[in-house]
């Protein structure tokens, strides 16, 4: 993307290498990003200002996300990810309707009033050992009331209308009932590159599997008529997420189906295929969206800077193997 002179200097590999592997990888992401428009880049450059150090840049980046991307529900404008200024990253609006998967950490809820409340505790006790019931569109009597009350409180806790990272059920076999019988918490954590969820056996991370449709996303956007959103789906860019060594921007492909491609934490070779990732316009969860509950109880494989850098380089080599992408990015020696 086009960077201002101060950011261009900080984003150089020579400058970023001095700050360590994480900063080096994050800086490379800005050099490689192809899906940020000049208009949005100018806005970002103006927000960051004349930063002179990587730590200062990281602080301004977080501020930008809070102001333009991870906006509050009562904010007068939608997240910039879905505004016209981000049109280079937008996906086709008429994508065929299909099912999306999203992995949600419940850790914040455990530490909040929700899972500590009678409703949260009763929900977990009722459904963790009877998860087939979660996959029923409608339950009877008290069970449906419990599920609905839990989801209503969860939606209340979701104070931001931030973009929702998701992937396609079809890329995980297409059969939800079969998928939930697998080790889906670790599979999704690894396939989606969620390095910030490195849970250990001593402290398992509770997670929920959410499933919703593209049509539901489109309906949610169309229902919000006064916030300026022009797209329901977008690919993730460096301006839509925290600075991260685990995020690698994908080449911008033609045709309106240029998804993000996540870094597989468990892959030990150059990937022959990639897990697609997209941002969806935020929706309120419905009881039927919760399909399974589980725990992440073991750490992922990328626990050292060397492991992270090697995995990223393998991923980049795979991206360079895509049609017309031979010159994309760079392998960081």
- 228 three-state secondary structure: coil
Q: Quick one: pLDDT at residue 110?
A: 59
pLDDT at 201 over 90: no
Convert the pLDDT of each residue in 253-289 to its tens digit.
876 678 999 999 998 888 889 999 999 999 999 999 9
Cα separation, 208 vs 190, in Å, equals 15
Residue 114 binned pLDDT confidence (cut-offs 50, 70, 90): low
pLDDT at 229 over 90: yes
* Over residues 209-232, mean pLDDT: 96
Distance of CA 44 to the CA centre of its chain: 20
Cα separation, 8 vs 5, in Å, equals 5
The residue that leads in pLDDT, 317 or 257, is 317
Q: Which two tokens stand for residue 194?
A: 């969620």
* Over residues 145-149, mean pLDDT: 93
- 114 three-state secondary structure: helix
208 forms bridges with which residues in the sheet?
A: 104, 293
Sign of the Cα pseudo-torsion (108, 222, 209, 277, in order): negative
pLDDT at 30 over 70: yes
- 68 three-state secondary structure: helix
Q: Quick one: pLDDT at residue 138?
A: 86
pTM of the model: 0.93
* Over residues 56-73, mean pLDDT: 97
Residue 291 binned pLDDT confidence (cut-offs 50, 70, 90): very high
% the chain with pLDDT above 70: 96
The residue that leads in pLDDT, 135 or 201, is 135
Cα separation, 29 vs 260, in Å, equals 13
* Over residues 282-298, mean pLDDT: 95
pLDDT at 136 over 80: yes
Contacts of 272 (CB under 8 A, 6+ apart): 318
* Over residues 103-109, mean pLDDT: 82
Are 117 and 109 within 8 A, CB to CB? no
Q: Which two tokens stand for residue 203?
A: 């402290």
Q: Quick one: pLDDT at residue 247?
A: 95
Q: Quick one: pLDDT at residue 118?
A: 79
Q: Quick one: pLDDT at residue 109?
A: 63
Q: Quick one: pLDDT at residue 60?
A: 98
Contacts of 260 (CB under 8 A, 6+ apart): 235, 236, 249, 250, 276, 277, 278
Residue 64 binned pLDDT confidence (cut-offs 50, 70, 90): very high
* Over residues 74-102, mean pLDDT: 96
pLDDT at 63 over 90: yes
pLDDT at 115 over 70: no
Cα separation, 78 vs 234, in Å, equals 13
Q: For the chain, what are the domain ranges?
A: 5-106+163-320
């Amino acid at each position: 993307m086009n960077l201002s002179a101060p950011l261009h200097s900080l984003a150089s590999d020579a400058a970023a290498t001095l700050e360590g592997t994480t900063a080096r990888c994050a800086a490379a992401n800005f050099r490689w990003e192809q899906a940020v428009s000049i208009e949005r880049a100018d806005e970002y450059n103006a927000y960051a200002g004349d930063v002179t150090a990587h730590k200062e840049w990281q602080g301004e980046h977080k501020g930008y996300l809070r102001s333009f991307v991870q906006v509050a529900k009562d904010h007068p404008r939608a997240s910039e990810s879905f505004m016209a200024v981000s049109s280079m990253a937008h996906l086709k609006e008429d994508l065929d309707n299909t099912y999306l998967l999203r992995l949600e950490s419940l850790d914040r809820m455990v530490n909040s009033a929700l899972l500590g409340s009678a409703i949260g505790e009763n929900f977990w006790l009722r459904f963790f050992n009877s998860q087939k019931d979660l996959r029923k569109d409608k339950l009877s009597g008290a069970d449906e009331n419990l599920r609905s009350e839990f989801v209503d409180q969860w939606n209340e806790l979701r104070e931001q209308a931030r973009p929702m990272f998701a992937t396609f059920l079809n890329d995980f076999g297409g059969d939800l009932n079969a998928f939930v019988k697998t080790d889906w918490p670790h599979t999704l954590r690894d396939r989606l590159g969620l390095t910030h969820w490195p849970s250990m056996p001593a402290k398992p991370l509770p997670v929920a599997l959410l499933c919703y449709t593209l049509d539901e996303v489109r309906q949610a956007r169309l229902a919000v008529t006064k916030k300026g959103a022009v797209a329901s789906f977008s690919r993730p860019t460096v301006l839509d997420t925290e600075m991260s060594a685990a995020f690698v921007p994908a080449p911008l492909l033609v045709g309106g189906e240029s998804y993000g491609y996540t870094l597989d934490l468990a892959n030990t070779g150059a990937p022959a295929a990639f897990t697609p990732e997209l941002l969806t316009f935020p929706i309120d969860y419905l009881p039927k969206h919760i399909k399974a509950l589980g725990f992440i109880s073991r750490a992922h494989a990328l626990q050292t800077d060397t492991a992270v850098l090697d995995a990223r380089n393998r991923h980049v080599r795979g991206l360079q193997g895509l049609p017309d992408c031979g010159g994309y990015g760079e392998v960081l020696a």
